[in-house]
């Protein structure tokens, strides 16, 4: 009798394999980091083979370390970094190029061009997404245009596209599939018909032949090749990591929300069986499609995606070198009572929701002669909470659903200083569960539902338990004042990066004061980009 579900949690910076027992408890875990490749400023790539090799290695490791045979595993579920785009040869299984990662900004200008063609509204209406370089569609276009022969091979049906779930499912089983949650991040999937959208495919000139078959999140996909684990194991669950985390946090009912503090920050609120069209630049996205006895049922989400959260702490570690480990930031930030007026806007990869400015850049303001590393560390931590506050404000404006508490997970959710500040700034209770590996847990739950290891989402909800609750303790006037200052800082970071040729349009601006430079810049830059 199989006792475990194995979750493969393929994140932006590491591949993890986690074993869950019937109570939803972690019984084993293995993790490997892999290379982040930065070929040019603003570009981020992964080697898809390295993703596969590290993922397979940790899966084998966790079985070995726990002395388990494949027969002990009822099913495997995958939770994955979303949007990251792989194009591979169907016959050889070889990627035609490095994967283009969700953080990669190389297609920002291509998105501007699509916006100029008036496609932003159509994209939002059909896919629920902002027209942004974040999503897979323009990354696919880039690969088809820049890899020699790729377009012709794609049109002949020789190449396959997939996000990381598809890639791993292909390597494990040979199937070319994705689930609705991952499909909904490509900017090619119709949120309402739950099909690839032919009009968008035509407008973006992407051949249908490269796309995977879309399946429910709890689909029984197929058995892994025996050489993966020595005997076949069923792959039966797929979900984008943020949707998986929402499922793992048991946010099964409309109005329930979670925020994941990983590389980025992703707040998702369950909006039930309705896709809400955001008026405040949030994403409407698919949470999960569950196949049940009476057919398939799709649950939708509103999402606010913030690009830099825990990655800002990595920047303190790797670039400023003011800490050696991420865990040290709490003590350093806690060594000062406040930031001394310093604000850090970590727009290192532009700004995501609700600003969607790919040309924003990291900005540190408010420094004085007394500013030290602790103030900057504290400002970095606080920036994570402020960005979340911007998202929550947009979410509450979009949805009539009141938020009673925010469930949290992800690496940086272990930081108590950050979690308390988050509760203070939001004026909402922040609740950390006992199991914080909720992306992996969600994938395990989906796979377990597929094979009858668990019976229903209601049963799964009984597993959820709280580790700690953070109550808001800051006066509302104080949090409002801080948020107002944050928003001033955000304005300074916006639309910073631009083509050098713009300087020739406004040569006098070199010697002007800051505000005038900004005015001139916004005027020239925003005409093509934002309007």
Ligand X SMILES: Nc1ncnc2c1ncn2[C@@H]1O[C@H](COP(=O)(O)OP(=O)(O)O)[C@@H](O)[C@H]1O
Nearer to ligand X, 14 or 479 (CB): 14
Query: Can you tell me which of 249, 263, 271, 299 binds ligand X, judged by CB under 6 A?
Result: 263
Residue 467 and residue 461: Cα distance in Å, rounded?
15
Q: Which stretch binds ligand X (CB under 6 A): 141-149, 310-318, 371-379, 467-475?
A: 310-318
Q: Which stretch binds ligand X (CB under 6 A): 279-287, 322-330, 349-357, 427-435?
A: 322-330
DSSP string, 328-359: GHHHHHHTSSS-TT-EEE--BTBB-TTT-BTT
Q: Contact at 8 Å (CB) between 378 and 372?
A: no
270 annotated ligand binder:
no
Task: Give the burial string for 438-465 (b: 16+ CB within 10 Å, else e).
Answer: bbbbbbbbbbbbbbebbeebeebeebbe
Residue 19 and residue 440: Cα distance in Å, rounded?
9
103 annotated ligand binder:
no
User: Does residue 420 belong to the site contacting ligand X (CB under 6 A)?
Assistant: no
For residues 111, 113, 117, 123, the Cα torsion angle rounded to the nearest 10 degrees is 0
Q: Contact at 8 Å (CB) between 465 and 459?
A: no
Beta strand pairing call for 189-190 and 99-100: unpaired
Query: Can you tell me which of 4, 5, 7, 12 binds ligand G3P, judged by CB under 6 A?
Result: 12
Nearer to ligand G3P, 124 or 339 (CB): 124
Nearer to ligand G3P, 158 or 390 (CB): 390
Helix (H, G, I), strand (E, B) or coil at 155: helix
Nearer to ligand X, 18 or 401 (CB): 18
Q: HSE on the CB side for 304, CA within 13 Å?
A: 30
Residues facing 300 on adjacent strands: 272, 286
Q: Phi first, then psi: what are they for 159, rounded to 5°? A: -110, 155
User: Does residue 346 belong to the site contacting ligand G3P (CB under 6 A)?
Assistant: no
> Of 30, 101, 135, 165, which is closest to residue 311 (Cα–Cα)?
101
64 annotated ligand binder:
no
User: Does residue 378 belong to the site contacting ligand G3P (CB under 6 A)?
Assistant: no
Residue 243 and residue 362: Cα distance in Å, rounded?
28
User: Closest distance between ligand G3P and the C-beta of residue 79, in Å?
Assistant: 9
- The distance of Cα 266 from the centroid of its chain, to the nearest Å, equals 6
83 binds, among ligand G3P, ligand X, none (CB under 5 to 8 A by kind): ligand G3P
Nearer to ligand G3P, 298 or 305 (CB): 305
User: Closest distance between ligand G3P and the C-beta of residue 266, in Å?
Assistant: 6
Query: Can you tell me which of 7, 45, 55, 83 binds ligand G3P, judged by CB under 6 A?
Result: 83
User: Closest distance between ligand G3P and the C-beta of residue 315, in Å?
Assistant: 15
> Of 409, 403, 298, 315, which is closest to residue 362 (Cα–Cα)?
315
Query: Can you tell me which of 107, 180, 259, 263 binds ligand G3P, judged by CB under 6 A?
Result: 263
92 annotated ligand binder:
no
36 annotated ligand binder:
no
314 annotated ligand binder:
yes
DSSP string, 177-244: EEEHHHHTTTT-EETTTTEE-HHHHHHHT--GGGPPEEE-TT---EEPPHHHHSS--EEEEEEEHHHH
83 annotated ligand binder:
yes
User: Does residue 28 belong to the site contacting ligand G3P (CB under 6 A)?
Assistant: no
Total binding residues toward ligand G3P, as defined by CB under 6 A: 13
In Å, what is the CA distance from 517 to each residue of 31, 116, 275, 496, 525?
47, 25, 41, 10, 12
User: Does residue 433 belong to the site contacting ligand G3P (CB under 6 A)?
Assistant: no
User: Does residue 242 belong to the site contacting ligand G3P (CB under 6 A)?
Assistant: yes
Q: Count H helices, E strands: the chain?
A: 19, 23
429 annotated ligand binder:
no
Query: Can you tell me which of 52, 102, 161, 261 binds ligand G3P, judged by CB under 6 A?
Result: 102
497 annotated ligand binder:
no
Binding residues for ATP: 12-14, 263, 310, 314, 411
Binding residues for sn-glycerol 3-phosphate: 12, 82-83, 134, 241
Positions touching ligand G3P (CB under 6 A) are 11-12, 81-83, 102, 240-242, 262-264, 305
Positions touching ligand X (CB under 6 A) are 11-14, 262-263, 310-311, 313-314, 326-327, 329-330, 410-412, 414-415
Binding residues for ADP: 12, 16, 263, 310, 411, 415
């Amino acid at each position: 009798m199989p006792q475990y579900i194995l979750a493969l949690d393929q994140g932006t910076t590491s591949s993890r394999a986690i074993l869950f027992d019937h109570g939803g408890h972690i019984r084993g875990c293995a993790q490997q980091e892999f290379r982040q490749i930065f070929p040019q400023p603003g570009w981020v790539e992964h080697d898809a083979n390295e993703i596969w090799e590290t993922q397979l290695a940790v899966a084998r490791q966790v079985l070995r370390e726990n002395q388990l045979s494949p027969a002990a595993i009822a099913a495997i579920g995958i939770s994955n970094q979303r949007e990251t785009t792989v194009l591979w040869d169907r016959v050889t299984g070889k990627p035609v190029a490095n994967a283009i990662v969700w953080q990669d900004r190389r297609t920002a200008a291509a998105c501007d061009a699509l916006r100029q063609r008036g496609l932003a509204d159509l994209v939002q209406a059909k896919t629920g997404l902002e027209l942004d370089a974040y999503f897979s569609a323009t990354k696919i276009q880039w690969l088809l245009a820049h890899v020699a022969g790729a377009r012709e091979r794609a049109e002949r049906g020789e190449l396959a596209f997939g996000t990381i779930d598809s890639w791993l499912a292909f390597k494990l089983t040979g199937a070319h599939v994705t689930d609705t949650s991952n499909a909904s991040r490509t900017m090619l999937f119709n949120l309402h018909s739950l099909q690839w959208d032919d009009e968008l495919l035509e407008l973006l000139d992407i051949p249908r032949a490269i796309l995977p078959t879309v399946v429910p999140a709890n689909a029984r996909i197929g058995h892994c090749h025996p050489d993966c684990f020595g005997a076949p194991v069923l792959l039966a669950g797929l979900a984008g990591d943020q949707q998986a985390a929402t499922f793992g946090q048991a946010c099964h009912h409309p109005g329930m929300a979670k925020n994941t503090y990983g590389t980025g920050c992703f707040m998702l609120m369950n909006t039930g069986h309705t896709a809400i069209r955001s008026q405040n630049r949030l994403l409407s996205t698919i949470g999960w499609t569950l196949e049940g006895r009476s057919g398939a049922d799709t649950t939708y989400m509103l999402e606010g995606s913030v690009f830099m959260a825990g990655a800002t702490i990595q920047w303190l570690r790797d670039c400023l070198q003011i800490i050696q480990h991420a865990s040290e930031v709490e003590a350093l930030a806690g060594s000062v009572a406040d930031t001394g007026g310093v604000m850090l806007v970590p727009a290192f990869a532009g700004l995501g929701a609700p600003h969607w400015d790919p040309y924003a850049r990291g900005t540190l303001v408010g420094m004085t002669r007394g500013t030290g590393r602790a103030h900057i560390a504290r400002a970095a931590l606080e920036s994570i909470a402020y960005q979340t506050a911007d998202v929550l404000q947009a979410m509450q404006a979009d949805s009539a659903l009141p938020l009673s508490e925010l469930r949290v997970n992800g690496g940086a959710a272990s930081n108590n200083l950050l979690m308390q500040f988050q509760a203070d700034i939001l004026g909402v209770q922040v609740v950390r569960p006992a199991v914080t590996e909720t992306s992996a847990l969600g994938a395990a739950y989906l796979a377990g539902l597929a094979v009858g290891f668990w019976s229903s989402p209601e049963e799964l909800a009984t597993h959820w338990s709280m580790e700690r609750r953070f109550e808001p303790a800051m006066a509302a006037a104080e949090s409002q004042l801080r948020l107002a200052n944050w928003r001033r800082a955000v304005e300074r970071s916006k639309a910073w990066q631009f083509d050098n040729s713009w300087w020739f349009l406004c040569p006098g601006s070199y010697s002007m004061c800051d505000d005038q430079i900004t005015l001139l810049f916004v005027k020239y830059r925003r005409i093509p980009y934002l309007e």
